[in-house]
Amino acid sequence: MRTSNPFIAVAAVVLCPALMFAGTISGKVTYTGTPVKQKPISMAKEPSCEKQHATPINTETVVTGANNTLENVVVYISAGGDDGSAPAQAVTFTQKGCQYIPHVIALHTGQEVHVVNGDQTSHNIHPMPKSNPEWNKSQPPGAPPIVQKFDNPEFISVKCQIHPWMHGWFAVLKTNHYSITGDGGAFTLPNLPPGKYTITAWHEDYGTQTQDVTISGNETKSVDFSFKAKAY
Amino acid sequence: MGGKIFAVLIVIIALASAVPIMNHTFLGASVTLPEDISTHGKAIDDQLSVTMKEAGISFLAAQLVLGLFVWQFANRKGATKTFPGGATAMVIVAFLFVGAEVLALGMVGSKAWGMVYFKPAASDALPVQAQAGQFAFYFRYPGPDGKFGQIHPDKIDEGNSNFFGLDPENDIPARDDITAGELVVPVGKEVNLMMHAKDVGHSFYVRELRIQQDFVPGLDLSVHFTATKIGKYEIVCTQLCGLGHYNMKSYLNVMSQEDFDKWLKSQSN
Amino acid sequence: MSDMSVHAAVHGAPTSFIRKYVFSLDHKIIGLQYYALALVAVVTGMVLSWIMRVHLVWPNAPIPGLGALAKVGAPGGVVTPEYYLQLMTMHGTLMVFFVLTNAPFAAFGNYFLPIQIGAEDMAFPRFNMMSFWTTFVAFCILISAFFVGDGPPLSGWTGYAPLSAVGKDAGPGQGIGQSLWGISIFVFCIASLLGSLNFIATTLDLRTKGMTLSRMPIVTWAWFITSCIALLAFAVLMPACLLLILDRVTGTSFFIPAGLNVGDHIQPHQGGSPLLWQHLFWFFGHPEVYIAILPAIGIVSHILICNMRKNMLSHRVLIYCMMAIGFLSYMVWGHHMFLSGMNPFSALVFSFPTLMITIPATIMTLIWLGSLYGSNLRINSASLFCLGFISMFVSGGVSGFFLAQPSIDIYLHATYFVVGHFHMVMGVAAIMGVFAGTYFWFPKMTGRMMNETLGRWHFFLTLIGTYAIFMPFHYLGLAGNVRRYSAFQDDFLVPLIPVHKFITYAALFTGAAQLIFIANLVYSRFKGPQASPNPWECTSLEWSTPSSPPPFDNFGGQHPVVHHDPYQYGVKSSTGDYIMQTSPGPGAAS
């Protein structure tokens, strides 16, 4: 069910009774085993960033919370749901203190991402996609946001060569049903009409897991994911 | 008129240009050059000072004579004269003086070069590997086992602090390797810096250390030095390497042996 | 040799505008075309340097109008780091190839070499036309890099591999722009090879009766020696560019070794060597310096002799010095690569011939200075620029003492000391030679005189300005100020920014002073007073032509016969204190 036409979209919302009985999938992402200890980042080469951090920040490849919960996992509906359309609202990706905030953003194909430089130094933003065009642009302090979009869904590694420790991810999805786990590893996918869905959880180091879930009516289904930590 | 203006102007320009040369020669090299913190640096500085004197004299003499002759002979009328001795004298003077200068500079001047490049590093020199990549330097110490792990270019993951592409899962010597974003060395101890380029050409330059050496992709180069003064000095890249070239830097952190040992220990866990 | 001179008309007079001024076979028009191209290139290159200088000291200041011209490179008019390097690369490439090679060598050489040897045209007029238009194509290809993909290349005019070879993975400016750069230089090499072959053939085969090699003016010799250098130098750069293009486009690995991770992409190359590029490039690159400076040396000596009203102490020794420099220039390329990982002993091998170049350079300087002694030096715009050339040649030359020594190069390599050195000796000195040539030959080329007052203002402001720009570069270099940085933010560089501000002001000032020259050029072309056939009372053949500019076949159907050595000044004759090369009768003893 594509809802690219706003009239159909409105009609669907008004007429489709299923939406009124929207279901929700929620859950938690955890890990087993012992993850690699994250290393402190030396920002010695960029004093304007170094002094923004009282203690050195750590790498963010594996970010964990209490009770073995795992952060920065993108959980989304990979099959069974509607594709949705690109929201007009842009997603903001900020460079601050020589760090990407947030570490992972998710956006719809065709949705704009605004890359903002909040630092007193130049950054270069270099996403390395496989099925979208690759680009690499520098952004001096005070320069306007870089506005870009991606037409094909994929997980794109984003780097800054000027500050090689900076690493982030663009999760370009063909759905608006997604959630990124934060502190506590929890996620929620609301407003799901009844149906059979495939839920995918993606982590930059640990890979992907999928689970099938069926929603029938106005209910909340709980789904948990558990990743096996890598020793190195 | 134009000739006299030129003569005066060229003398003023020459004298103004020579002020830093004079400063260097009479007030000491420390006025124009940064301090030297290496064992071989003095040889370079001395050579530079000698060259400065010779170049300064040649420069001033030529400009002042040019000014003088133009002042004297501009718009002159009457029969022309020939400089005593003619071309033969000029050729002889040039061969004698400049030839001697060339020989002297070439022979004596190679001393400092030899100190850096002809002598290999001492066998007990501290081995450190330097890696240059767009746009940062990283340094690696072999750890307690004294062995460097292997570099796997495809495993480089800077976002996860794996700057050298180590494979600790399969490569045991790599497990205790210590990597750092700055070059920490003990004072008074010779360092054997092994240069590795990750992507394109770069260069390692610490002006206080009087060391500059290119990183050339595909070549295993090394350079050795002994830092003589505790402190923090900037390492910059001097080979154009891309958009972030101006921001490619690190620090040389010279510590006492105790502080260095402590630092190494704090890094190894 | 003189009786072998060829006198048959090489081609008929053109009739249509296109054949006369566009696709002309006439060496004079081709010379002017080269001059015009160099002028466009030098103005472009200078504007680029202004943008660079402004960005260096006010990094966040928007430059009016630039935002619209370069949306990607300078969003909102603020120059990005990569755009700075792109401008720098284009500045260097334009200046070295399209200005310093074209103006003193191709432009003046084309115009005056055939006339000075009494020929009607070059040996191969069609080749000559092809040389210019090929150069023009190379220029267009280079400029088009401004308008493609992510813009012009950023790896500098030296185009060091593998940065220039691995393509887009190395960041902005390494896309199609870098390929266009390689193609442009490749095409430029073809043009230069054709041009220098033509110069050599013309000099050897088309000399008129009595014009023996030893009777050729010093500037003719300079162009001839330069042609020989260019023939060897560009013949090496051309295949180097081809290999670079192949590495970029077809995936070969001439300059790229195995195991490179560029921008998180493992490069699919193996077996190449970045040093191979450096050797090939500098084997061309160092002789290129002399391709720029030797014609200027010739021009300046030629003009000075005329204005001193006496010959140099020995113009032949000057010619021998030029030959010696040309010969040595092929043995010194490694001094650009002292720190690039060559065997350290080879540094000494390259250092000695480099230092030895000082000997002929000193002999030349001493001869210029010694010749000024006792001369009747006429001061005019042309002779002033000659004096400026000598001053700059010395200033830029003495800094070569430092850089020729590998031990000092450890400290000064890749600093502003190098930038100051080569700008003075190769850039400013050669350009001063071009200015001298312009003021001197303008009456012959256009039939009108240039304005002398404007010319002197132009000279003095340029002299002060260029010293103010490039002398401080040396002191920045001694302080360790590294080059090719788009911003100075390191702790040891920040205190040097005031010096950079001074340099930027000086650069804007000096650039503005060049407007006087452009205005003089345009005004005098149309409104200047009529020039007599020999306004400077010179002896060489270009002043024997029946009119200014010379007729289509240079000597109006006559075949000049040469009776004398080129520089018969300070003698009693019916015309004054000089004897034309063409005038029969006794001359001074040579």
Q: Dump pLDDT digits (tens) for B103-155.
A: 888 888 888 899 889 989 999 999 999 999 999 999 999 999 999 999 999 99
ipTM: 0.96
Q: Does B266 touch chain A (CB under 8 A)?
A: no
Which among C232, C399, C397 has a CA at the least distance from the CA of C330?
C232
Note whether B102 and B132 are same-domain residues: no
Strand partners, A146: A115
Position A142 scores a pLDDT of: 83
Q: Does C22 touch chain B (CB under 8 A)?
A: no
Dist CA C245 CA C252 (whole Å):
9
**Nearest by CB: C261 against B74, B75, B198:** B198
Position A3 scores a pLDDT of: 43
Mean pLDDT of A71-92: 92
Contacts of A170 (CB under 8 A, 6+ apart): A93, A105, A106, A107, A113, A127, A150, A155, A156, A158
Note whether B143 and B16 are same-domain residues: no
Position C19 scores a pLDDT of: 84
Q: Does B32 touch chain C (CB under 8 A)?
A: yes
Note whether A162 and A208 are same-domain residues: no
In angstroms, the separation between the Cα of residue A169 and the nearest Cα of chain C is 14
Note whether B164 and B248 are same-domain residues: yes
- Which of these three, A174, A190, A209, is where a domain ends? A174
Dist CA A135 CA A155 (whole Å):
15
**Where do we find the tokens 């006792």?**
C374
Question: Is A194 within a domain?
Answer: yes
Tokens describing residue C37:
């191209």
**Residue C271, CB half-sphere, CA atoms under 13 Å: how many?**
5
Helix, coil or strand: residue A212: strand
Note whether A90 and A168 are same-domain residues: yes
**Where do we find the tokens 């230092």?**
C355
**Domain boundaries, position B192:** 126-267
Strand partners, B178: B141
Note whether A19 and A31 are same-domain residues: yes
Note whether B253 and B156 are same-domain residues: yes
The pTM assigned to this predicted structure is 0.93
Position B268 scores a pLDDT of: 80
Note whether B194 and B246 are same-domain residues: yes
Which residues does chain C have within 8 Å of residue B154's beta carbon, measured at their own beta carbons?
261, 266
Which residues does chain B have within 8 Å of residue A103's beta carbon, measured at their own beta carbons?
none
**Nearest by CB: A159 against C168, C172, C264:** C264
Strand partners, B226: B190
CB C265 to CB A161 under 8 A?
A: no
Stretch 300-359 of chain C: residues touching chain B, C-beta under 8 Å? 308-310, 312-314, 317, 339-341, 344-345, 347-348, 351-352, 355-356, 358-359
Question: Is A5 within a domain?
Answer: no
Which among C416, C525, C522 has a CA at the least distance from the CA of C478?
C416
Beta-strand ranges (E) seen in C175-250 are none
Helix, coil or strand: residue B184: strand
**Domain boundaries, position A93:** 85-174
Question: Is B151 within a domain?
Answer: yes
Overall number of domains in chain A: 2
CB C373 to CB B113 under 8 A?
A: no
The set of chains that have 3 or more CB pairs under 8 A with C is A, B
Question: Is B133 within a domain?
Answer: yes
Mean pLDDT of A19-30: 83
Note whether B97 and B162 are same-domain residues: no
In angstroms, the separation between the Cα of residue C271 and the nearest Cα of chain A is 26
In angstroms, the separation between the Cα of residue C173 and the nearest Cα of chain A is 10
Task: Give the torsion sign (CA, C218, C219, C220, C223).
Answer: positive
Which residues does chain B have within 8 Å of residue C480's beta carbon, measured at their own beta carbons?
34, 205, 207
Note whether A93 and A148 are same-domain residues: yes
Tokens describing residue A101:
């905030």
| Inter-residue contact A58 to A40 (CB < 8 Å) | yes
Sheet holding B178-180, edge to edge: B178-180, B136-141, B126-133, B190-197, B221-226
- pLDDT tens digit sequence for A62-80: 999 989 999 999 999 998 8
Dist CA B230 CA C356 (whole Å):
41
- Could you tell me the CATH number of the domain that includes residue A75? 2.60.40.1120
Whether the pLDDT of residue A1 is over 50: the answer is no
Question: Is B39 within a domain?
Answer: yes
Q: Does B222 touch chain A (CB under 8 A)?
A: no
Which among A34, A57, A72, A53 has a CA at the least distance from the CA of A183?
A72
Nearest chain B Cα to A157, which residue? B159
Position C10 scores a pLDDT of: 60
Question: Which domains are present in chain C?
Answer: 30-254 (1.20.210.10), 537-590 (no CATH)
Dist CA C569 CA C567 (whole Å):
6
Strand partners, A32: A228
Note whether A93 and A202 are same-domain residues: no
- Which of these three, A156, A174, A192, is where a domain ends? A174
Which residues does chain C have within 8 Å of residue B70's beta carbon, measured at their own beta carbons?
372, 377, 387
The set of chains that have 3 or more CB pairs under 8 A with B is A, C
C23 burial class (0-12, 13-18, 19+ CB within 10 angstroms)? middle
| Inter-residue contact A206 to A31 (CB < 8 Å) | yes
**Nearest by CB: C387 against B33, B70, B247:** B70
In angstroms, the separation between the Cα of residue C235 and the nearest Cα of chain B is 26
Question: Is B80 within a domain?
Answer: no
Tokens describing residue A73:
């996992």
Note whether B97 and B210 are same-domain residues: no
- Could you tell me the CATH number of the domain that includes residue A91? 2.60.40.420
Question: Is B155 within a domain?
Answer: yes
Question: Is A133 within a domain?
Answer: yes
What does C107-170 look like in DSSP terms, one character per residue? IHHHHHHHHHTT-SS-S-HHHHHHHHHHHHHHHHHHHHGGGSTT-S--STTTT-TTTTTSGGGG
Which residues does chain B have within 8 Å of residue A37's beta carbon, measured at their own beta carbons?
none
Mean pLDDT of B77-101: 90
Q: Does B249 touch chain A (CB under 8 A)?
A: yes
Cα-based distances in Å from A12 to A17, A196, A215, B114, B158: 9, 19, 19, 82, 47
Position C437 scores a pLDDT of: 98
Task: Give the torsion sign (CA, A11, A13, A14, A18).
Answer: positive
Cα-based distances in Å from C483 to B217, B247, C78: 21, 12, 21
In angstroms, the separation between the Cα of residue B248 and the nearest Cα of chain A is 7
Which among C561, C558, C550 has a CA at the least distance from the CA of C208?
C561
Nearest chain A Cα to B181, which residue? A42
Which residues does chain A have within 8 Å of residue B182's beta carbon, measured at their own beta carbons?
42, 44
- Which of these three, A174, A196, A212, is where a domain ends? A174
**Where do we find the tokens 């590294």?**
C482
Q: Does B251 touch chain A (CB under 8 A)?
A: yes
Cα-based distances in Å from C129 to C194, C275, C561, C573: 10, 36, 28, 41
Dist CA C258 CA C462 (whole Å):
49
Which among B105, B40, B59 has a CA at the least distance from the CA of C403?
B105
Nearest chain B Cα to C361, which residue? B94
Position C6 scores a pLDDT of: 45
Position A7 scores a pLDDT of: 56
Note whether A90 and A137 are same-domain residues: yes
Position A82 scores a pLDDT of: 85
Note whether A183 and A125 are same-domain residues: no
Question: Is B96 within a domain?
Answer: yes
Cα-based distances in Å from C141 to C51, C134, C158, C377, C402: 22, 11, 18, 45, 37
The series of mean pLDDT values per 10 residues for chain C, 590 residues long, is: 45 80 93 97 96 94 89 87 95 97 96 96 95 98 92 94 92 92 97 97 96 96 97 97 96 95 92 96 96 97 96 95 96 94 92 93 96 95 98 95 94 96 96 98 96 97 97 95 93 95 97 97 96 94 93 90 93 85 72
Position B1 scores a pLDDT of: 81
* The most confident of A31-35, B226-230, C550-554, C556-560, by mean pLDDT: B226-230
Note whether A202 and A217 are same-domain residues: yes
Dist CA A78 CA A199 (whole Å):
6
My answer on whether omega of the bond before A102 falls inside 30° of 0, hence cis, is: yes
- Could you tell me the CATH number of the domain that includes residue B242? 2.60.40.420
Position C183 scores a pLDDT of: 97
Q: Does B90 touch chain C (CB under 8 A)?
A: yes
CB B180 to CB A161 under 8 A?
A: no
In angstroms, the separation between the Cα of residue B219 and the nearest Cα of chain A is 23
**Nearest by CB: C485 against B52, B242, B245:** B245
Dist CA C429 CA C357 (whole Å):
17
Q: What's chain A's average pLDDT?
A: 89
In angstroms, the separation between the Cα of residue A114 and the nearest Cα of chain B is 21
The set of chains that have 3 or more CB pairs under 8 A with A is B, C
A21 burial class (0-12, 13-18, 19+ CB within 10 angstroms)? middle
Nearest chain B Cα to C259, which residue? B153
Question: Is A6 within a domain?
Answer: no
Stretch 41-80 of chain A: residues touching chain B, C-beta under 8 Å? 41-46, 59-61
- Which of these three, B67, B96, B117, is where a domain ends? B117
Note whether A191 and A161 are same-domain residues: no
CB A162 to CB B247 under 8 A?
A: yes
- pLDDT tens digit sequence for B175-190: 999 999 999 999 999 9
Note whether B91 and B159 are same-domain residues: no
Note whether B98 and B161 are same-domain residues: no
Dist CA B224 CA B240 (whole Å):
23
Note whether B159 and B260 are same-domain residues: yes
What does C503-565 look like in DSSP terms, one character per residue? HHHHHHHHHHHHHHHHHHHHHHHHHSPBPPSSTT---SGGGSSSSSSPPTTSSTT------S-
**Nearest by CB: C81 against A128, A138, A157:** A138
Dist CA B200 CA B214 (whole Å):
11
Note whether A123 and A197 are same-domain residues: no
Position C5 scores a pLDDT of: 42
Q: Which of A37, A41, A42, A169 would best serve as a mutation to test chain B binding (most B beta carbons within 10 A)?
A: A42
Position C588 scores a pLDDT of: 55
Which among B233, C490, C495, C55 has a CA at the least distance from the CA of A48?
C490
Size of interface A-C (CB pairs under 8 A): 45
Position B269 scores a pLDDT of: 60
Residue type (1 letter), C440:
F
Question: Is B167 within a domain?
Answer: yes
Note whether A170 and A90 are same-domain residues: yes
Note whether B137 and B47 are same-domain residues: no
Spell out which chain A residues touch chain C, with contact meaning CB-CB distance below 8 angstroms. 121-122, 124, 126, 128, 134, 136-144, 157, 159, 161
Question: Is A8 within a domain?
Answer: no
Position C76 scores a pLDDT of: 84
- Which of these three, B117, B140, B175, is where a domain ends? B117
| Inter-residue contact C245 to C186 (CB < 8 Å) | yes
Question: Is A2 within a domain?
Answer: no
In angstroms, the separation between the Cα of residue B198 and the nearest Cα of chain A is 12
Q: Does C171 touch chain A (CB under 8 A)?
A: yes
Q: Does A91 touch chain B (CB under 8 A)?
A: no
Overall number of domains in chain B: 2
In angstroms, the separation between the Cα of residue C511 and the nearest Cα of chain A is 28
CB C376 to CB B198 under 8 A?
A: no
Q: Does B135 touch chain A (CB under 8 A)?
A: yes
Note whether B139 and B44 are same-domain residues: no
Packed helices C81-93 and C27-57: angle between N→C axes, nearest 10 degrees: 150
